[in-house]
Amino acid sequence: MTDVAANSTDSLTVRDNRTGQEYDIPITDGTINAKDLGQIRTGDDQPGLATYDPGFVNTASCRSAVTYIDGDKGILEYRGYPIEQLAEKSSFLEVAYLLIHGALPTKDEMDAWVHEITYHTFVHENVKSFMEGFRYDAHPMGMLMASVGALSTFYPDARNIKDADNRHMQIVRMIAKMPTLGAWSFRHAQGKPFIYPDNDLSYTANFLSMLFKMSEKKYGADERLVKALDVLFILHADHEQNCSTNAVRSVGSSEVDPYSAVAAGVAALYGPLHGGANEAVLRMLRRIGSTSEIPAFIEGVKNGNEKLMGFGHRVYKNYDPRAKIIKKSAEDVFEVTGTNPLLDIAKELEKIALEDDYFVQRKLYPNVDFYSGLIYEAFQFPPEMFTVLFAIGRTPGWLAQWLELVQDKEQKIARPKQIYTGDRQLTFVPASERWA
């Protein structure tokens, strides 16, 4: 790494036109430290300069070695491994190990990891009673958020986040129990009895068993469906500093237990701007109705009368690499479940949009949500379950980011500045006088 202190060219010279003074601010990894702007002030008794960046559009809040994204080139890597290779050749639990530990496991490490996760899939019976207490029509995501937070009361030792062995135990528990909590949220909404984990099954097959098993002794899902859902979990496992990951880090910066921090991530994902895009894609495809109506819809988008959902991304200015993989998974799933006419509409819409200069010039390409909703629907998941599936896949990423946070000596408790816009120095008048 370049020694920026010794290299004056790796700096930014700022001239304050209010005072005529110049400041030399070091540049490291393509960024300046916002704290260095604090020295720029009009007087000793005046506040220093700060940045205003709603939504962190151009602000780095941390250093991270978990996920790399190059949005212009459509690149996504977990710990340096391309997402395309991981989706094709790895498994979700191996990817989870990679995210948490920073390296791929040996065979012995993988066997031990799978055993640990499998062993901890069961939850305390009181958690079951807790979840049964929700209203019959409770949203599965609200149930998941509350249940994850409630786990902190079952494992009070989770507060000891300075202990590496203790951190590992909580990470294992959370990855193991998320499918159980998610499946039970689904069953509760349907008025069906909860199904306990079957630890003879793989992680993803076990999840499908807890979701769909009825009276049969053993639930056996089609392996193509198991693989497709496993791939979806991999594709959602982490995505840099998104809204929910930022929530996990922000809440985690208070040194709270990881269950509470991850519950914050679930809450952020609950919001429609973060986790609801694939449902919006399904509504759009149904509104289009048939491939013959696509040209009229495209014109509506150009005229501002329609919204093209599932295209474009705040990070990607190229084809979302996850979308290509999901498109293939969708075709595999429909081989098992039967075709969905919406898939034909989606493919034709994608084809037309990618050939239209209007969308190409605006760098609007399909994102991960464009096809994922079709896959979830093929599994017979209701739309309110989509974000639960997202949360299960994202859990290892949240935990990897949390683990990085608690071991990062540069990190402090999150406490952003604000620009105050309200009144000041008003004179209080007692209610007896105001109301007289």
CATH number of the CATH domain containing 388: 1.10.580.10
Helix, coil or strand: residue 416: coil
**Mean pLDDT throughout 25-45?**
92
What domain range includes position 280?
86-407
**Do the domain assignments include residue 109?**
yes
Rounded Cα–Cα distance for residues 17 and 83 (Å) = 47
User: Does residue 273 have a pLDDT over 90?
Assistant: no
Q: Please identify which of the residues 120, 188, 236, 313 carries the catalytic annotation.
A: 313
> Is the pTM above the cut of 0.75?
yes
**Mean pLDDT throughout 201-213?**
97
> According to the model, what pLDDT value does residue 396 have?
98
Name the pLDDT band for 8 (thresholds 50, 70, 90).
Answer: low
In the chain, the percentage of residues whose pLDDT exceeds 90 is: 79
List, for residues 280-305, the tens digit of each pLDDT value. Answer: 889 999 999 999 999 999 999 999 99
Range list of H helices, 255-307: 258-270, 272-275, 277-288, 294-302
User: Does residue 2 have a pLDDT over 60?
Assistant: no
Q: Which of 180-184, 351-355, 356-360 has the highest mean pLDDT?
A: 180-184
List, for residues 145-194, the tens digit of each pLDDT value. Answer: 999 999 999 999 999 999 999 999 999 999 999 999 999 999 999 999 99
Q: Please identify which of the residues 188, 369, 408, 423 carries the catalytic annotation.
A: 369
Least confident of 1-15, 51-65, 243-257: 1-15
List, for residues 366-408, the tens digit of each pLDDT value. Answer: 888 888 888 998 999 999 999 999 999 999 999 999 999 999 9
Looking at every residue in the chain, the average pLDDT score rounds to 93
Number of domains in the chain: 1
The pair of structure tokens assigned to 55 is 């939504």
267 or 370: whose pLDDT is higher?
Answer: 267
Active site residue 369: yes
List, for residues 304-330, the tens digit of each pLDDT value. Answer: 999 898 888 878 878 788 988 998 898
List, for residues 255-265, the tens digit of each pLDDT value. Answer: 999 999 999 99
**Do the domain assignments include residue 35?**
no
User: Does residue 279 have a pLDDT over 90?
Assistant: no
**Do the domain assignments include residue 75?**
no
**Mean pLDDT throughout 263-286?**
91
Interstrand relation of 21-26 and 11-16 (parallel, antiparallel or unpaired)? antiparallel
Name the pLDDT band for 3 (thresholds 50, 70, 90).
Answer: very low
Rounded Cα–Cα distance for residues 311 and 307 (Å) = 10
User: Does residue 420 have a pLDDT over 80?
Assistant: yes
User: Does residue 14 have a pLDDT over 50?
Assistant: yes
Active site residue 332: no
Strand partners, 34: none
Rounded Cα–Cα distance for residues 435 and 432 (Å) = 6
**Do the domain assignments include residue 30?**
no
> According to the model, what pLDDT value does residue 4 have?
37
Please count the other Cβ atoms lying within 10 Å of the Cβ belonging to residue 117.
22
> According to the model, what pLDDT value does residue 324 have?
87
List, for residues 331-345, the tens digit of each pLDDT value. Answer: 889 999 988 888 889
> According to the model, what pLDDT value does residue 339 have?
82
Rounded Cα–Cα distance for residues 309 and 367 (Å) = 9
**Do the domain assignments include residue 222?**
yes
Strand partners, 11: 26
Name the pLDDT band for 358 (thresholds 50, 70, 90).
Answer: very high
Find out whether 373 and 275 touch, Cβ atoms under 8 Å.
no
> According to the model, what pLDDT value does residue 280 have?
86
